[in-house]
């Protein structure tokens, strides 16, 4: 059973600080990684995808991937109260022809004004 592990939190950071969210995965051959944000009572929405080792930046968000360590992270700079949500890490199951996603259970982030 492929696994994606995340710290459940809650992770509390003050407004304006950097929030760091981490994810490890068990499938060595996984090639595609996604971060979803989910507000309470809402459905997940994609915020970042990353496929190669290194960093990928999009506005205040930076995704980092280290395939050797089977580790992917999401940094949120200048955190805002509106960033308060649960962040889900998802990894493509490369063994399935339809490219299923395996999701972590999510990290709940709370940004304190």
> How far apart (Å, rounded) are the C-alpha atoms in residues 107 and 32?
20
> How far apart (Å, rounded) are the C-alpha atoms in residues 110 and 74?
15
* Residue whose CB is less far from another protein, 21 or 90: 90
Please list every residue from 84 through 103 that binds another protein, using CB under 8 A.
Answer: 88, 90, 92, 94, 97-101, 103
Alpha helices in 1-113 (DSSP H): none
Least distance from another protein to the Cβ atom of residue 37, Å: 11
DSSP structure string for 39-69 = -TTS--EEEEEE-SSEEEEETTEEEEEETTT
Binding mask 26-65 for another protein (x = CB under 8 A): -----xx-x-------xxxxx--x-x--------------
Least distance from another protein to the Cβ atom of residue 59, Å: 18
CA 51 to the chain's CA centroid:
13
- Interface residues with another protein (CB under 8 A)? 31-32, 34, 42-46, 49, 51, 88, 90, 92, 94, 97-101, 103-106
């Amino acid at each position: 059973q492929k696994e994606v592990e995340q710290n459940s939190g809650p992770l509390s950071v003050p407004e304006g600080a950097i929030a760091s969210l981490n994810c490890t995965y068990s499938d060595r051959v996984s090639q595609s990684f996604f971060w979803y944000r989910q507000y309470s009572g809402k459905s997940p929405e994609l915020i970042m995808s990353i496929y190669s080792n290194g960093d990928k930046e999009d506005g205040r968000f930076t995704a980092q991937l280290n395939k050797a360590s089977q580790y992917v992270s999401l940094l949120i700079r200048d955190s805002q109260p509106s960033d308060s949500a649960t962040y889900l890490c998802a990894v493509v199951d490369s063994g399935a022809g339809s490219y299923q996603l395996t999701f972590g259970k999510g990290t709940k982030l709370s940004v304190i004004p």
